[in-house]
Structures are given as structure tokens and as C-alpha cells.
Amino acid sequence: MFFDAKDYAAAARVLGGLVEEVPEQTGPRLLLARSYYHSAQLRRAEAELRTIVEQDPVEHYARLMLGRTLQRQNRHEEAESHLRIASALAGDFEQR
């Protein structure tokens, strides 16, 4: 509902409580990270995404979002490795 209304800050408030209740679940934490990303709370998005990647290093979408979050913070070199890993996990290999 909050995503449809593009009220990402409100979504983050609701999802923050849910993540506290079930910190081991990736889905709510990923939605929280997306809420932070879309509401320009990039440091918070980064923290949530790093937690997901620590818990599940092959979570492709978290890697992709982490790379994009780092890009938005002008940390392009750091972003590149996460974007490459996300691409490989998704099966997107360069054809030679």
C-alpha cells in the first residue's frame, strides 16, 4: 500500500518494526532497504543490505541494490564488485 502511494518513509516506519520482530527473514529487510533507498536514506539502505549480504551472500537482488545504493553515494569503485557479483548470480555473463 505504501509503495503504491510512493510513501516510502511511511513504509520504512512500518517495516522497521517488522524487521525488529523477525530479523532473520530476508523479505521484510529487503523491503525496508528498498524503502530507505527510495526515500534517499542511503546509509540506512546500505546497512540493511549489508546485513542481508552477510546472512545470504548469494542474495542476488540485495547485491544489486547494494551496488546501486553505493553508486548513488558516489562510491562507484566499491559498487562495482557488488554489481558484478549480482550479474553473475543472475546468470548475466558477457558473450565473447
Q: What DSSP state is assigned to residue 3?
A: T
Task: Convert the pLDDT of each residue in 3-24 to its tens digit.
Answer: 888 899 999 999 999 999 999 9
Q: How many CB atoms lie within 10 A of CB 17?
A: 10
Query: To which residue does cell 545504493 refer?
Result: 69
Task: Convert the pLDDT of each residue in 56-94 to its tens digit.
Answer: 999 999 999 999 999 999 999 999 999 999 999 988 765
Q: How far is CA 82 from CA 31, 44, 74, in A?
A: 19, 17, 14
CA 56 – CA 82 distance, rounded (Å): 13
